[in-house]
């Protein structure tokens, strides 16, 4: 072989050798624990949002990530044991929904990164030290779920202008709920309405709660969003229809409900994937600021409105992001 050709061949082989080794080196398979309130069936849109976000960042399910999904099935008290199970599995990251799940994950591990979603007041509830510098191993996305209740009360007043009494279906055993009830009370008071608390702590409380609302002549209903209500969304929507009670909900999981106003959760889950990506690439959760939501949605179901004998104000229809007919 000509000396020049030999040099070129040696150079090329020296470049190709590490490339061949890299090609043979297995890609890192990240195990992601999801600590969720409900089953994959109910949570399908959010789960797909997270998967989509990872795909957009170049991750391939089964090759570069697998999901260990754990559902509390509507029972907050299950979160500590489920979080402990994910820690035993040595997952690379835990994604949570809601305050109770976030606190359970934080208490279960001080080393595995935790990315939160659906936490209304992460600082006030002790999930993070501050939004700008969360500290420890927890970061993610807040949802402003407390402040937004005033907006929901106002929307109900627009929908039912003659309303006098407004009921709120809230699980007061959830640590995030008492501030939300206070916000409902404040908002109803400012509009000259009476507020009625329907404290539901187990599925068996739902039917009697609606009966109580009707007995006390509630004109409309605000439905809180947490583990119990999310897991029993179909029952709640059906009870509202049965009692002809106009209701506003916090997420699209309450399919068939009259009005939804809240954070676009599938979009938030999609964005949560970017936190996972940065952490997998070496970022520390303590240094990643907790982000607040930027995308909200107002959805109005005119079929449900018609069944309730309600006329939706044209101004409200114009503001809706989606109208279901």
**CA geometry: angle 245, 250, 252, nearest 5 deg:** 95
- Sequential DSSP letters for 64-114: TEEEEEEE-TT-GGGHHHHHHHHHHTT-SEEEEESHHHHHHHHHH-SSS-E
| Predicted confidence (pLDDT) at residue 45 exceeds the cutoff of 70 | yes
DSSP state at residue 203: G
> How many of the other CB atoms lie within 10 Å of CB of 77?
11
Are residues 93 and 116 in contact, defined by beta-carbon separation less than 8 angstroms? Answer: no
Q: How does the average pLDDT of the chain come out, rounded? A: 90
| % of the chain with per-residue pLDDT over 90 | 79
Question: How is residue 173 written in tokens?
Answer: 């055993």
Q: What is the pLDDT of residue 87?
A: 98
Nearest to 122 by CA among 138, 104, 105: 138
What's the rounded mean pLDDT across residues 11-37? 63
Nearest to 118 by CA among 251, 312, 310, 24: 251
Q: What is the pLDDT of residue 27?
A: 75
Write the pLDDT tens digit of every residue in 148-163. Answer: 899 999 999 999 999 9
Is residue 10 classed as helix, strand or coil in its secondary structure?
helix
Q: Which of 219-223, 253-257, 280-284 has the lowest mean pLDDT?
A: 253-257
Are residues 183 and 177 in contact, defined by beta-carbon separation less than 8 angstroms? Answer: no
Within 13 Å of residue 33, how many CA atoms lie on the same side as its CB? 27
Per CATH, which fold does 148-263+297-324 belong to? Answer: Rossmann fold (3.40.50)
Residue spans of the domains in the chain: they are 30-143+265-294, 148-263+297-324
Pairing verdict, β 194-199 and 247-249: unpaired
pLDDT band at 12 (very low <50, low <70, confident <90, very high): very low
**Fold agreement between 30-143+265-294 and 148-263+297-324:** yes
What's the rounded mean pLDDT across residues 245-274? 93
DSSP state at residue 259: E
Owner of token pair 């209304």: 120
Q: Which CATH superfamily is domain 30-143+265-294 in?
A: Response regulator (3.40.50.2300)
Which sign does the torsion angle of CA 269, 176, 222, 41 carry? positive
Q: What is the pLDDT of residue 30?
A: 98
């Amino acid at each position: 072989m000509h000396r020049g050709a030999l040099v070129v061949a040696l150079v090329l082989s020296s470049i190709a050798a590490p490339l061949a080794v890299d090609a043979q080196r297995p890609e890192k398979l990240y195990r992601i624990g999801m600590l969720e309130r409900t089953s994959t069936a109910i949570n399908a849109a959010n789960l797909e949002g997270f998967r989509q976000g990872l795909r957009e960042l170049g991750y391939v399910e089964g090759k570069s990530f697998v999901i260990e999904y754990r559902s509390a099935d509507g029972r907050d008290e299950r979160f500590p044991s489920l979080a402990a199970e994910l820690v035993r599995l040595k997952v690379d990251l835990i994604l949570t929904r809601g305050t109770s799940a976030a606190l359970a994950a934080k208490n279960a591990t001080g080393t595995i990164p935790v990315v939160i979603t659906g936490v209304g007041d992460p600082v006030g509830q002790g999930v993070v030290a501050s939004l700008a510098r969360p500290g420890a191993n927890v970061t993610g996305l807040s949802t402003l779920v407390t402040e937004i209740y005033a907006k929901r009360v106002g929307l109900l007043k627009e929908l039912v202008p003659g309303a006098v009494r407004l009921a709120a279906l809230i699980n007061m055993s959830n640590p995030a709920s008492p501030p939300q009830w206070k916000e409902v009370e404040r908002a109803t008071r400012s509009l000259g309405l009476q507020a009625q608390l329907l404290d539901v702590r187990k599925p068996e409380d739902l039917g009697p709660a609606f009966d109580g609302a009707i007995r006390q002549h509630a004109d409309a209903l605000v439905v809180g969003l947490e583990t119990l209500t999310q897991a029993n969304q179909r029952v709640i929507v059906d009870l509202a229809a049965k009692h002809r009670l106009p209701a506003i909900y916090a997420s699209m999981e309450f399919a068939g409900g009259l009005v939804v106003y809240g954070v676009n959760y599938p979009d938030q889950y999609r964005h949560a994937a970017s936190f996972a990506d940065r952490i997998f690439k070496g970022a520390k959760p303590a240094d990643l600021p907790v982000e607040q939501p930027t995308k909200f949605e107002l959805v109005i179901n005119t079929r449900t409105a018609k069944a309730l004998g309600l006329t939706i104000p044209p101004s409200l229809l114009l503001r809706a992001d989606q109208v279901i007919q």
